[in-house]
Each structure stands twice: as structure tokens, then as C-alpha cells.
């Protein structure tokens, strides 16, 4: 079920109303049933996959906690990890691995006999797999008590606001909330609804509008002229940001209405002045997951390597991050480029501080922010392109300077309109986001009813005139 659909609006109103009308002891059951229905709306049979891993991890958590020896605890943890990673490997990576085996076989004149699987990737599999893994890891580390209530544990994995595209929660944050009695609070409910409205605005007014131009550019119908490529890549930066952070805002807002607090997943990432800073602001739940469960253990276990342990840890972590995002080499290259960039920042930190420190602070910050944003746009080409061939055509277009004005494509009326609308709504979004970032303006907004109604009135007009409602588009991160 898409957040940007009429079906979800009906679902949300019905479930939330019933939630506050039920006694506390039955609310977990309502949310679990609602979450199962929410997920089954996409493809019903795939709930069996979640059911399989939920049962394994539930018992693994109890067995880990009750184990008498460290070796036994580790065996139960490994059982849980194998079950989760195994499901992910079969559904997401089997055919990708098989493709690469076929390539190697062809290289040496052999024929690959392994058959391909005709399966569809379950929506959000990577998200709820990582959330499930965090539970057993935290129980193993002694940071979380095993959840004895099977229904509550199931809800931890299945909780509909963040089931499909995160945030990837930790058990310490969310499990205890599912035991607590939530009461109706007008200010909290209104805050949640406003956050949902802002997320929906980012999705249907900004992301879905920009996607028309982005799809046209990457589709190659108008060639790959320099200016056209820059427009497409610039638009994609804000398309994916508004699409993903829009989903997160709706998830956080819908949970907040019922009294749940989910972790923050975005913190104005395009304000970052380094790639490291960017990853502290973008998809925070994933970057902290990799930091806690992959990068930090690697660096600790390889500390005898000195600074190269950090470099190896960064590159390997982002290699896995690229693979997590998609079963394809363009995603892996995207991840490795981030790992290389962060390694460069780590190795040259002192030199850069000494060199850039000579510049005025405003210039230093401005240049750093611009360079980070340009780097992000470049590596996103590999993220967005459907193949290496498309990615290289786009990159070649960036440097296609010769007669780039004369070569500028002749657009259809529909694309011209989408370009103009895209520029207009993007300017509005940048102004509104600047408004939300400014604490003084936020205080004025909160304390001034007239200003509040003026902002929401203007956003409503943008919704009406520029919202893309005819064909609700899926969120980009659903494919992961």
C-alpha cells in the first residue's frame, strides 16, 4: 500500500481511530493485523517470508539469552544471521551471482548449468531483514532483553509505518514503546499530521514532478547534451531526496500520531561539507547500522593495520552498502566511490584543514558544500542508471562541451512544461526547507497562527495545481 494513495488515507484513518478506541491490551493485535494487511496489499504470499524469519529470530533471541556458554550464544546468533542473510541472498542476489558466474564461464569457454530463479524481490526485504538482524545482535551483545511476547516481537518487525522503507529501527528504541500505553494528545497528533503532510508534499509535488524530467534524460530520448545532463542529474538529486525523506516523514508522522517515536533518518543532507558529514545526515538509520555492526568491528579487529584498517573498513562497508542497495555492479561502484571519497577525507584530514583553513570561513564552507554536492550528483549517475552503458553515456554527456547550445535538444510541449514546473516547485521547496531550517522562523511559525495558515495555504495551492495524483508512483527505495 502506497503512502501517496487514497487506499492508505482510508487505512490510516480507520486504523488510527480504532487504535485509540481499543483498550491498551488489544492495540498490539490491531497494529499487527493492520501491518500484515498493509504488507499483503503489495503481494500477499511474501508475508510467509517475513513469518519464517520472525519465528526464527524470536526463538533465537530467547535461546541466546538463556544460553549457558558464549559458544552456544554465538551458535544461536549465527543461526539467526544465516536465516536472514540466506533469505536476502536467495531473493535479491541469487540471479546477480548467477549472472557473474555465467560471465566467468563464458570467458573460459564453459556453459553455466545453474538455472535462474523466476522470483520477484519482496518489497522492502533489505529493510526488515536488517531490522530483524539488529534485534538478535543486540540480544547477543547484552544490550537488549529477549522479547517474550511473540506478538510484540512480530509487530517490531512488521510495524507498518516503517516496514517497507525504514527507518531501520533498533530494538532498544521501539520495543519498549510497544508495551507502553499511548494516550491521545492533541498537540502530538497535529504535529504528526503536519509531518505527514510535509512528507506527502515532498513526494507528490516535488519528487514525482522532477521524475518526469529525470526519466526523460536517463531514457536518452533527447540525447545527452551537457546542459541537459546537468539538469537531469541536478533534478535527480532532489527527486531521490524528496522521495525518500518524504516517505520517512510520513512514516515518522503516522507513528507519532499514535504516540510512537521513530528515529530521525534525514538531517538536511545537502548542507553537508564532507562526505562523512553527508552520511551522518542521509539515511541515518542505515549508516549507523553499518557503523555499529560492520565498520566498527572491522576496524577493531584490524587495529594492528593502523590507519589502513580505517581505509579497508570504509571501502568494504560501502561495498556492502552498494550491494545492499541493489544487486548490480552500478550500485557497487556507487558504494565504492563513497568509500574511496571517505578514505580520501580520512587520509588528508590534516592537510585539508591546513590548506582550506587559510580561506575565510564563509568561502571554505561554501566551497566544501558545493564540492560535496557535485560529487553526490556524479556518483548518483551510477545509482540511477539502469546499466553501465547508460551511466557512461550520461558521464560522456557531461563533457560534451562542443556546440552544446546548438546541440541542445528540441523538446516536446509536455517536457517543456515539466521542465518549467520542475524549476518552479524546486525553488519553492528550497525556500520552504530554508524556512524549516531556520530556528527563528520556526519559532515565529509555531507562535503565529496567521503565518502557519499562510504557509499551509500556499502549500495546499501547490498541492492542487502541481501535485502528481493521477498515477501514484511507488517510492524509489521500495525496490531495496
List CB contacts of 190: < 8 A, sequence separation 6 or more: none
Query: How far is residue 156's CA from residue 135's CA, in Å, rounded to a whole number?
Result: 9
Q: How far is CA 451 from the centre of its chain?
A: 32
Residues listed for the chain? 480
Peptide bond preceding 167 in cis form (omega within 30 of 0): yes
Cβ–Cβ under 8 Å, residues 235 and 422:
yes
Q: Is 76 exposed, middle or buried (0-12, 13-18, 19+ CB in 10 A)?
A: buried
- CA nearest to 258, candidates 159, 332, 153: 159
DSSP string, 14-29: HHHHHHHHS-HHHHHH
Query: How far is residue 153's CA from residue 397's CA, in Å, rounded to a whole number?
Result: 50
Q: Give me the catalytic one of 128, 283, 325, 338.
A: 325
Q: Residue 239 corresponds to which cell in the numbers above?
A: 527527486
DSSP string, 129-155: HHHHHHHHHHHHHTSSPPP--HHHHHH
Cβ–Cβ under 8 Å, residues 43 and 70:
no
Q: Is 395 exposed, middle or buried (0-12, 13-18, 19+ CB in 10 A)?
A: middle
Cβ–Cβ under 8 Å, residues 31 and 61:
no
| SS3 at position 407 | coil
Query: How far is residue 22's CA from residue 326's CA, in Å, rounded to a whole number?
Result: 41
Triad 325, 331, 336: Cα angle to 5°? 105
Query: How far is residue 346's CA from residue 309's CA, in Å, rounded to a whole number?
Result: 12
To the query of whether residue 325 is one of the catalytic residues in this protein, the response is yes
Query: From the CA atom positions of the chain, what is the Rg in Å?
Result: 24
Q: Which long-range contacts (CB under 8 A, 24 or more apart) does 352-361 make?
A: none
Q: Which long-range contacts (CB under 8 A, 24 or more apart) does 426-431 make?
A: 426/206, 426/210, 426/235, 426/238, 428/462, 429/202, 429/205, 429/206, 429/238, 429/242
DSSP string, 254-310: HHHHHT--PPP--S-GGG-SSHHHHHTTSSHHHHHHHIIIIIHHHHHHTGGGTHHHH
Query: How far is residue 89's CA from residue 224's CA, in Å, rounded to a whole number?
Result: 36
Residues recognised as catalytic: 325
Amino acid at each position: 500500500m502506497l503512502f501517496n494513495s487514497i487506499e492508505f488515507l482510508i487505512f490510516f484513518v480507520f486504523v488510527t481511530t480504532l487504535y485509540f478506541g481499543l483498550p491498551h491490551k488489544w492495540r498490539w493485535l490491531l497494529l499487527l493485523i493492520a501491518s500484515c494487511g498493509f504488507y499483503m496489499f503489495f503481494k500477499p504470499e511474501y508475508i510467509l517470508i517475513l513469518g519464517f524469519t520472525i519465528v526464527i529470530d524470536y526463538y533465537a533471541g530467547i535461546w541466546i539469552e538463556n544460553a549457558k556458554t558464549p559458544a552456544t550464544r554465538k551458535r544461536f546468533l549465527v543461526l539467526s544471521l544465516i536465516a536472514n542473510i540466506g533469505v536476502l541472498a536467495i531473493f535479491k542476489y541469487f540471479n546477480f551471482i548467477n549472472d557473474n558466474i555465467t560471465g566467468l564461464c563464458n570467458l573460459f569457454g564453459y556453459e553455466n548449468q545453474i538455472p535462474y530463479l523466476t522470483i520477484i524481490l519482496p518489497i522492502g526485504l533489505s529493510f526488515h531483514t536488517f531490522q530483524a538482524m539488529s534485534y538478535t545482535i543486540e540480544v547477543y551483545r547484552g544490550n537488549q532483553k529477549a522479547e517474550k511476547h511473540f506478538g510484540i516481537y512480530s509487530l517490531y518487525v512488521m510495524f507498518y509505518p516503517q516496514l517497507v522503507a525504514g527507518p531501520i529501527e533498533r530494538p532498544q528504541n521501539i520495543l519498549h514503546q510497544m508495551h507502553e500505553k499511548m494516550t491521545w494528545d492533541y498537540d502530538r497528533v497535529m504535529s504528526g499530521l503536519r509531518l505527514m503532510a510535509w512528507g506527502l508534499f515532498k513526494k507528490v509535488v516535488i519528487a514525482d514532478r522532477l521524475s518526469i524530467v529525470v526519466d526523460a534524460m536517463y531514457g536518452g530520448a533527447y540525447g545527452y547534451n551537457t546542459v541537459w545532463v546537468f539538469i537531469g542529474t541536478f533534478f535527480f538529486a532532489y527527486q531521490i531526496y524528496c522521495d525518500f525523506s518524504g516517505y520517512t516523514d510520513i512514516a515518522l508522522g503516522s507513528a507519532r500520531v499514535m504516540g510512537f517515536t521513530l528515529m530521525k533518518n534525514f538531517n538536511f543532507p545537502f548542507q553537508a561539507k564532507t562526505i562523512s558529514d553527508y552520511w551522518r545526515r542521509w539515511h541515518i538509520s542505515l549508516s549507523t547500522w553499518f557503523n555499529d555492526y560492520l565498520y566498527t568491528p572491522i576496524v577493531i579487529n584490524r587495529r594492528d593495520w593502523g590507519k589502513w584498517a580505517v581505509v579497508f573498513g570504509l571501502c568494504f562497508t560501502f561495498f556492502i552498502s552498494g550491494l545492499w542497495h541493489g544487486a548490480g555492479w552500478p550500485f557497487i561502484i556507487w558504494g565504492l566511490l563513497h568509500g574511496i571519497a571517505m578514505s580520501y577525507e580520512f587520509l588528508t584530514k590534516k592537510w585539508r584543514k591546513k590548506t582550506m583553513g587559510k580561506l575565510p570561513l564563509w568561502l571554505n564552507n561554501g566551497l566544501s558544500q558545493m564540492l560535496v554536492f557535485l560529487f553526490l550528483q556524479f556518483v548518483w549517475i551510477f545509482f540511477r542508471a539502469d546499466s553501465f552503458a547508460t551511466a557512461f553515456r550520461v558521464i560522456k554527456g557531461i563533457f560534451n562541451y562542443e556546440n552544446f547550445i546548438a546541440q541542445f535538444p528540441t523538446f516536446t510541449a509536455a517536457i517543456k512544461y515539466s521542465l518549467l514546473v520542475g524549476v518552479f516547485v524546486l525553488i519553492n521547496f528550497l525556500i520552504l526547507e530554508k524556512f524549516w531550517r531556520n530556528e527563528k522562523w520556526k519559532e515565529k511559525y509555531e507562535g503565529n497562527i496567521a503565518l502557519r495558515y499562510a504557509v499551509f495555504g500556499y502549500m495546499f495551492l501547490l498541492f492542487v495545481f502541481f501535485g502528481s495524483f493521477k498515477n501514484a508512483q511507488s517510492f524509489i527505495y521500495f525496490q531495496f
